[in-house]
Amino acid sequence: MALIYKIVALLSLVVSFIQITLGGFVRASESGLGCPDWPLCHGQIIPPMEFHTLIEYSHRLNGSVLGILVTTLLIICLINYRSAKRLTIANYSAFGLVVGAGILGGITVITELAWWIRLIHLGIAQILAACLMYIVWEFLFANVRNVHIDLSPIRAWKWKMVLCLSLVFLLMLSGSYMVGIGASSSCSSWPLCKGLSIPEGLTYQVHMGHRYISVLSLAFVGYVAIELITHSNGSRLIKRIAHSALGLIGVQIILGAITVWSGFSSHMKVTHLSVATLVWLSVILMSILVERSFSKIVFDSDMTVEKV
């Protein structure tokens, strides 16, 4: 049963990432009303084979698969791992989030793609992915209570991670807001907008606001990642996660520029969102590492545990 739970947990995380990517493609290709009704599509279980309809329908089907996987996770957890409080809470949370995301998906269609509903929908999807990442970590390393990182002072580092998570989450929501009000393609140059750092006009300012939040959040994530590498006590696991975060930051900056230079092609928009999700998940992992570092157990990348 442990192997089954591990497989379902990993599949849930992968499918949640695919769901976010598909959601981005639905939005970028303007296929949100490819299925104008809910929960059916054009009043049918199997809809017409049309481009926009198929894109929206694939998003719904993937969401259904995700719901089944998360429900399966919760059932297995309650049967076999109820005594693991953190894992149980995480599974209940994931179940509640996937139900909420499904309901909001229906409301999004009913309200004919209201931008603020789509923003909340994306936020819940990202929190769900973070929750599933935590479940994967908690179960794969169930025998490990903490990872030791030489961080001081502890309280300051806890606030650093809270700020890090908040900034990246705000970055993703600001991107959704920018797209929602039609400001995503307002600035056709990079890094400035029409040669100005603060252009006139609401749509231009919203677009540049997203860029400034990007600079602030990615710079702070980079700082935290470098600090973790510096204080990793030689742990290859910590270094790999921090290096991954740094690499993703670099890729995301380049993708942001290419998205502008490509004329805001739908494929680049989707890729930009996907990498943003990976940055978010890397920050989730770093936060778990920091939270687990405040103990007397050391865990290295060779999966050996030794008491200090």
Distance, CA of 76 to CA of 87 (rounded, Å): 11
Minimal CA–CA distance to 70: which of 90, 95, 49?
A: 95
Sign of the CA dihedral 26, 27, 28, 34?
A: positive
pTM for this one?
Answer: 0.90
pLDDT over 50 at 301, yes or no = no
Structure tokens at 14: 């992968």
Contacts of 94 (CB under 8 A, 6+ apart): 12, 70, 73, 74, 128, 131, 132, 135
pLDDT, residue 300, reads 39
Question: Which band of pLDDT confidence, cut at 50, 70 and 90, is reported for residue 303?
Answer: very low
Residue 260, C-beta contacts closer than 8 angstroms, at least 6 positions apart: 187, 188, 189, 190
Statement: residue 63 has pLDDT above 60:
yes
Q: What is the mean pLDDT of residues 49-65?
A: 93
Cβ neighbours of 279 (radius 10 Å) = 23
CB atoms within 10 A of CB 221: 26
Q: What are phi and psi of 67, to 5 degrees?
A: -60, -40
**Mean of pLDDT values over 8-33:** 94
d(CA 286, CA 6): 21
Region of poorest pLDDT, from 134-143, 171-180, 200-209: 134-143
Give the separation between CA 297 and CA 308, rounded to whole angstroms: 6
SS3 per residue for the chain: CHHHHHHHHHHHHHHHHHHHHHHHHHHHCCCCCCCCCCCCECCECCCCCCHHHHHHHHHHHHHHHHHHHHHHHHHHHHHHCCCCHHHHHHHHHHHHHHHHHHHHHHHHHHCCCCHHHHHHHHHHHHHHHHHHHHHHHHHHCCCCCCCCCCCCCHHHHHHHHHHHHHHHHHHHHHHHHHHHCCCCCCCCCCCCECCECCCCCHHHHHHHHHHHHHHHHHHHHHHHHHHHHHCCCCCHHHHHHHHHHHHHHHHHHHHHHHHHHCCCCHHHHHHHHHHHHHHHHHHHHHHHHHHHCCCCEEECCCCCEEEC
- Strand 297-299, strand 305-307: pairing: antiparallel
What's the mean per-residue pLDDT of the chain?
88
Structure tokens at 272: 């930009």
Least confident of 5-19, 170-184, 288-302: 288-302
Average pLDDT value for residue range 295-302? 40
Q: What is the pLDDT of residues 230-248, one digit of tens each?
A: 887 767 788 888 999 999 9
- CA dist 126 and 129 (Å) reads 5
Can you tell me the distance from the alpha carbon of 180 to that of 183, in angstroms, rounded to the nearest whole number? 8
What pLDDT does 275 receive? 96
Give the pLDDT band (50/70/90) at residue 142.
low
**Range with the lowest mean pLDDT among 143-147, 205-209, 227-231, 234-238?**
143-147
Using the predicted structure, report yes or no on whether residue 306 has a pLDDT greater than 70.
Answer: no
- Looking at residue 115, its pLDDT comes to 87
What's the pLDDT band for 299 if we cut at 50, 70, 90? Answer: very low
Question: What's residue 42's pLDDT?
Answer: 87
Q: pLDDT confidence of 166, banded at 50, 70, 90?
A: very high
pLDDT in tens, 112-121: 778 899 999 9
Residues 127, 19: Cα–Cα separation, whole Å: 13
Q: Is residue 161 within 8 Å of 288, Cβ to Cβ?
A: no
- Check pLDDT > 60 for residue 250: yes
Least confident piece of the model among 71-80, 127-136, 184-193, 272-281: 184-193
Enumerate the domain spans of the chain. Answer: 1-142, 146-308
Region 20-44: what's the mean pLDDT? 90
Range scoring the smallest mean pLDDT among 50-54, 103-107, 147-151, 214-218: 147-151
